Chains A and B, each alone.
Chain A
Amino acid sequence: MVLKISRKVLPWIFLAPMLIMIVFSWIAPVLLTVYLGFTDLSSKNFLDFVRNFFTEKVHFTLENFDKIFFAKDPYIVEALTITAIYVLSVLSINSIFALVLSIAIAYFIRNEVLSMILRVSWLIPRIMPGIIYALVWNWFIDPKYGMLNTLLKIVGVPEAWLPESWLLTPPYSQLLMIMVNGYVGASFGMIIYTAAIKSIPTDIINAALVDGASDFQVARHIIIPLLKWPMLFVISWQTLSLLSSYEYILMIWGSGGGGGYAGIARAAKVMVWSLYSYSKAFAAEEHLYGYASALSLILVITGVVLIVLYFKLFGFRRLMEPSRIEV
C-alpha cells in the first residue's frame, strides 16, 4: 500500500522544484501582466502596490487599451510601422536568405572542413555574448575608426551616400537594425536547414545526379521541396521571437548613445513595439508600468495565439524535432 502511494507521488516530488520555478518565472508574471494591463500603475502608486496588490490607490482602467487601439498615444502608429519593417525584413533574411546559405554550405560545398568553418563562422554572432556583439558593431560602424564605411568605399559606394552616423540617421539606422538582427537570425535558419539537408537520404540526390541533374536542379527540385516543413517552422518560430526581441537594439543604441536608449532609439526610428513597452516602464519619467504592461499584454496574447497555432500546424512531434525530414 505504501509502495503504491509513493509510486504515484514520487514523480511529483521530482517535478515539484521545476513546477515551482515555472510558476515563479513564467505563470505569475504572465498573470500579473494581464492584471497590470488594466491598471494605472505608475511611479506614483507603485510603492503602495508592491506592498499590497489590491491597494485602493491603483485603479482599474481601460484607458491603456484606448490609447493603444485608438492611437491616442501618438507614437503607437510609428512603433507599429517600425515593428512591421523590422519583423518582415529580418524574417526574410532568416527564412529565405538562410535557405540559400544552407544549400550553399551544406550541399554545394562538399569539403567537410570548409563547410564546418563556414557553419561555425555563421554561428559566431549568436554565440557571442550580446554586449560584445554590441561593442564590435559600435566599433564597426564608427565613421572614423570603424571599417563599415571603408569597406563600402572599397566596393565602390560613393562617399556622398554614406551617413554621418549609422546609429542616428534613419533610414540607415533601420538598415543597421536589420543587419544586426539578421546575422543572428540567419544562423537560426541555417542550423535548422543544414540539419535537415544533411538528413536527406543521399540515394535520392545521387539518383538525380546520375540522371544528369545539375547541382542547381537538385537544389531546386529535391532539396527545397523537402525543406517545406523546416521552412514553415523557422518562419513561424521566428515571427514570435522577433515580435518580442529588443535586446540587441537596446544594447547597441543604448551603449552607443551613452546609456540613454529611449531617446536615441526613438530619434533613430528603431523603437520597436517591445522596446517601446520596456522604455515606458523603465525609462519614461513617470514609469508607466500599467500602460507598459498593456503594450506587453498585446504581445503575450499574440504569443499564446501563435503557439496554439504552431501546435495545430506542426503537431507535437514536429515541434520537438523541427529539422527531421519525412520522405
Chain B
Amino acid sequence: MGVKDRLFPVGGTALILNILKYIVVIIVAVVPLIPIWTMILWLAVQSFSGKVILGIIPSDFTFNNWRFLWSPMKMGLKEYPNIWPITLNTLFLALGVTGLVVFISTLGGYALSRMEFKGRVGLMQFIIALHAFPSIILLIALFVILNHLGLYGKGIMTLVGIILIKAGLEIPMATWIIKGFFDAIPWDLEWAALVDGCTRWKAWRTVILPLVLPGIGAISIFSFLSGWSEFLLVFTYVKDEAYYTLPVLIYYMIGEYKFIDWGMLAALGLFYAIPTIIFFSTSQKLLLRIYVGGIKR
C-alpha cells in the first residue's frame, strides 16, 4: 500500500469507519438538538399563529397574540400590569448594571493590567476565586443586607438595590475580561505617549481607551444581557407588581396562561428575547470569546 492509499484510504474498512463516524456525529451532536430546534421553531411559529398543528406547523396567521403590546392583559378578574412600564423596569435594571459594571471594572482592570502594587497577584487570585464561587447561595444574606439598608419594599429603590447587588456580582468576571483586553495592548504605545509628554490621564484617554473599546463593548453587552435576564434577585426581592421585570412577569404568566393561551406566552417570550437575539446575531464572535474566556454556569 502506497502512502497515497494510506492518506486517502478507499478500502472497505475505511468506508465502514467513515459511515460509523457520521453515525456517531448524528447520534451525539444532531439528534439531541431536535428538541432545542423544535422549541425555538415553536416559539417563532406560535407567536404569529392562531392555531398550531403538531407544535410547529403554523396556521391562521394573526397578530392577536401580540395584543399585550397595545391592550392590558387580563385573566378573569385579574389584570396584569401593562407591559411597557415592566419593560422600562427591565431596561432600567439592565442599563444600571451595565453602567456600573463598565465603569468600575474598566478602572479595576486597568489597574490590574498596568500598575504595580503590593498584592497584585493575590488580588487576581482572589478575583478568580470569586468567579468560581457560586453567588447564588448568598441570596438570603443579601436579602438581610437589603433590608438593613432600608431598600426592601421601597419600589424603585429596591430595583436600585438589586442593581448594586447584581453589578457587584458581575464585577469580578467583567474586570477579568477587560484586564485581558488591556493585557493585549502593547506597553510601548502607552510609553510612547508618556515620553511625548502626555499625562497618564491623557495617555489613557487618547491612546488606551480607543484600543480597549472592543473590550468595553464586550463587557457592556455581557452585563446588559445578564441584567436583562436577571430573574432570581427580582423574583425574590420585589413583591410589588409595578416593579416587576419582564422575566418575573413571564414567570407568573406561564402558570396561569399555559392551558389557555400558548400563543400569547410565545409572543411575550419572543418580545422579551429581542435584545438577546439582536446581540447574539450581531456580536456572536465577541460573545463566544467571552464565553470561552470566563464562564460561570
Contacts and interface: CB of A to CB of B under 8 A. Distances in A.
Interface in B25-84: 25, 28-30, 32-40, 42-43, 46, 52, 54-56
Contact of B36 (A49, A97, A124, A293): A124
Interface string A11-47: 1101101100110111011101100100000000010
Contacts of B38: 140, 147, 151
A216 B134 contact: no
B169 A245 contact: no
A265 B265 CA distance: 23
B250 A135 contact: yes
A146 B55 contact: yes
A50 to B, nearest CB: 4
B37 A121 contact: yes
Nearest to B253: A255
Interface of B (DSSP majority class)? helix
Given A22-B130, A53-B148, A210-B7, A130 B54 contact: no
Interface in A281-327: 281-282, 289, 292-293, 296, 299-300, 303-304, 306-307, 310-311, 316, 319-320, 323
Most chain-A Cβ atoms within 10 A of its Cβ — which of B29, B148, B276, B291? B29
Contacts of B43: 132, 135-136
Nearest to A216: B17
A108 B40 CA distance: 26
B244 to A, nearest CB: 12
A50 B165 CA distance: 18
A18 B108 contact: yes
Contacts of A124: 36, 40
B168 A26 contact: yes
Contact of B255 (A211, A250, A257, A282): A257
Given A216-B21, A247-B231, A251-B231, A21 B117 contact: no
A292 B173 CA distance: 27
Given A109-B25, A191-B291, A138 B254 contact: yes
B21 A215 contact: yes
* Interface size band for A: 35 or more
B29 to A, nearest CB: 5
Given A22-B171, A244-B137, A292-B140, A142 B258 contact: yes
A270 interface: no
B111 interface: yes
A127 B116 CA distance: 37
B139 A278 contact: yes
A104 B134 contact: no
Interface stretch (A67-75, A79-87, A234-242): A234-242
Interface in B110-135: 110-112, 115-117, 121, 123-125, 128-130, 132-135
B10 interface: no
Interface residues of B, number: 103
A254 interface: yes
Contacts of B172: 22, 26
16 contacts: A22-B172, A24-B145, A25-B168, A26-B168, A30-B138, A32-B144, A123-B288, A124-B36, A131-B229, A132-B250, A132-B273, A150-B55, A192-B292, A210-B7, A281-B139, A307-B132
- The 6 A-B residue pairs with the shortest CB-CB distance, nearest first, are A25-B168, A258-B255, A241-B297, A18-B108, A244-B134, A29-B141
Given A15-B107, A129-B231, A136-B40, 18 more contacts: A11-B116, A17-B103, A18-B108, A21-B164, A25-B138, A32-B144, A33-B137, A36-B144, A121-B36, A125-B36, A131-B269, A138-B254, A139-B39, A147-B55, A150-B54, A251-B231, A293-B141, A296-B138
Interface of B: 3, 6-7, 9, 14, 17, 20-22, 24-25, 28-30, 32-40, 42-43, 46, 52, 54-56, 100, 103-105, 107-108, 110-112, 115-117, 121, 123-125, 128-130, 132-145, 147-148, 164-165, 167-169, 171-172, 175, 228-229, 231-232, 236, 246-247, 250-252, 254-256, 258, 262, 265-266, 269, 272-273, 276, 280, 284, 287-288, 291-292, 295-297
Interface of A: 8, 10-12, 14-15, 17-18, 21-22, 24-26, 28-30, 32-33, 36, 46, 49-50, 53, 97, 100-101, 104-105, 108-109, 118, 120-132, 134-140, 142, 145-148, 150-151, 183-185, 188, 191-192, 195, 209-212, 214-216, 237-238, 240-247, 250-251, 254-259, 274, 277-278, 281-282, 289, 292-293, 296, 299-300, 303-304, 306-307, 310-311, 316, 319-320, 323
